[in-house]
């Protein structure tokens, strides 16, 4: 857990006295603390940190500064995604970040800079920050700080934050690659903190028939039905077009676990919601 304290407008040496007092009187001894201060407050913080058993890091934060006090000896969490195939790295990092508190950091390593670029795109879209990057031997790395998720303000003129993803599938089990892509993309979106809805229509409803997805297997992933079940348990909503299902003789009792029938109005409503990013397969 990382405690955040705002102390704007206070300069050295008073800022150092304040920081020292806070570190000595923490409710959780040894807790990591980030202080948001005005320029000029950083002088003498090295001595304050040493006296309190902390290390200090000062970084710009817009017009202000962040002074991060970390208990001496505390190691940065790390994950090495070398050898993982897409979308594995993004999912692994997303799962690790979900276990961290806002303000905590994670170092991600890989031999592939392209993999780290993909991870960077994913975690920044989810609101977290990339604080730095570099190389260690044959590994490239980025350092990520988990940020608190900010709620949409709904203010006029403010762009809508697309925190939801609608994945539309119209091919079904007849195109195994597109069928898999539907739920792989859903899994990546979930790992990025997005709310995901899958809408199966036309031939896509073949995926919804109970037992149908069990016959589809990608060489690098679990059977399609197992991947679907994993997404249902992760909170993904899966709709099957009622009209398309009826056209193919699929009734509600024929649906795979977790799949619901929905009509055209539900589909249009989802498409019309500006908070959804839409992906078609």
Based on the fold, state whether residues 169 and 264 are members of the same structural domain.
yes
CB 88 within 8 A of CB 118: no
Task: Count how many domains the chain has.
Answer: 3
Q: Of 40, 71, 102, which closes a domain?
A: 71
Confidence of residue 131 (pLDDT cuts 50, 70, 90): confident
| Higher-scoring residue by pLDDT: 82, 84 | 82
Do residue 187 and residue 215 come from a single domain?
yes
Measuring CA to CA, how many Å separate 227 from each of 129, 143, 174, 181, 187?
29, 30, 17, 11, 9
Q: Where are the alpha helices (DSSP H) in 195-263?
A: 224-233, 242-247
Quick one: average pLDDT of 13-38? 89
CA-CA distance, 186 to 182, in Å (whole number)? Answer: 6
Taking alpha carbons only, the member of 173, 182, 184 closest to residue 206 is 173
Kindly state whether residue 101 falls inside one of the protein's structural domains. Answer: yes
The answer on 42 and 129 residing in a single domain is no
Query: Do 140 and 101 belong to one domain?
Result: yes
Q: Is residue 58 part of a domain?
A: yes
Q: What are the pLDDT digits (tens) for 148-175? A: 765 544 555 545 567 899 999 999 998 9
Domain that holds residue 15: 2-71
Tell me: do 55 and 7 sit in the same domain.
Answer: yes
Q: Average pLDDT, stretch 145-149?
A: 77
Does 194 reside within a domain?
Answer: yes
CATH number of the domain where residue 101 is located? 3.30.110.40
CATH number of domain containing 246: 3.40.1260.10
Query: Within a domain: residue 215?
Result: yes
pLDDT reported for residue 155? 53
Chosen domain end from 71, 87, 108: 71
Note the pTM of the prediction, 2 decimals: 0.60
Residue % of the chain over a pLDDT of 70 = 95
Which pLDDT does position 157 carry in this prediction?
A: 52
Asked if residue 154 belongs to a domain, the reply is: no
153, part of any domain: no
Last residue of a domain, one of 52, 71, 90: 71
Span 234-238, average pLDDT: 93
Average pLDDT over residues 241-265: 90
pLDDT of residue 128: 85
**Residue 171, in any domain of the structure:** yes
Please report the pLDDT score of residue 222 as a whole number: 86
pLDDT exceeds 80 at position 74:
no
pLDDT in tens, 199-230: 999 999 999 999 999 998 888 788 999 999 99
Q: What is the pLDDT of residue 59?
A: 86
* Mean pLDDT score across all residues of the chain: 87
Residues 88 and 19 in one domain: no
Give the position of tokens 């604080």.
131
Judgement on whether residues 97 and 52 belong to the same structural domain of the protein: no
Do 276 and 168 belong together in one domain?
yes
């Amino acid at each position: 857990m990382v405690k955040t304290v705002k102390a704007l407008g206070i300069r050295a040496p008073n800022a150092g006295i304040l920081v020292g007092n806070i570190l000595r009187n923490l409710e959780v001894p040894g807790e990591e603390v980030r202080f948001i201060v005005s320029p000029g407050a950083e002088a003498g913080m090295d001595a304050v940190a040493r006296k309190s058993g902390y290390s200090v890091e000062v970084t710009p934060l817009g017009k202000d500064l962040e002074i991060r006090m970390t208990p001496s000896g505390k190691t940065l969490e790390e994950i090495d995604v070398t050898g993982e195939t897409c979308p594995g790295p993004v999912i692994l990092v997303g799962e690790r970040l979900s276990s961290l508190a806002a303000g905590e950091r994670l170092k991600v390593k890989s031999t592939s800079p392209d993999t780290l670029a993909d991870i960077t795109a994913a975690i920044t879209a989810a609101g977290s920050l990339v604080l730095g990057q570099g190389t260690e031997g044959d590994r490239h790395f980025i350092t990520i700080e988990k940020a608190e998720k900010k709620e949409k303000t709904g203010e006029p003129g403010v762009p809508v934050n697309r925190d939801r993803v609608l994945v539309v599938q119209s091919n079904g089990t007849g195109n195994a690659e597109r069928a898999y892509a539907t739920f792989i993309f859903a899994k990546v979106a979930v790992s990025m903190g997005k709310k995901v809805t899958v809408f199966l229509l036309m031939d896509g409803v073949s995926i919804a028939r109970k037992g149908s997805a069990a016959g589809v297997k990608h060489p690098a992933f679990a059977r399609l039905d197992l991947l679907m079940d994993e997404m249902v348990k992760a909170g993904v909503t899966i709709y099957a077009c009622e009209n398309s299902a009826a056209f193919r003789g699929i009734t509600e009792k024929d649906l795979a676990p977790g799949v619901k029938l929905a009509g055209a109005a539900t589909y249009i409503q989802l498409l019309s919601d500006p908070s959804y990013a839409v992906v078609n397969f």
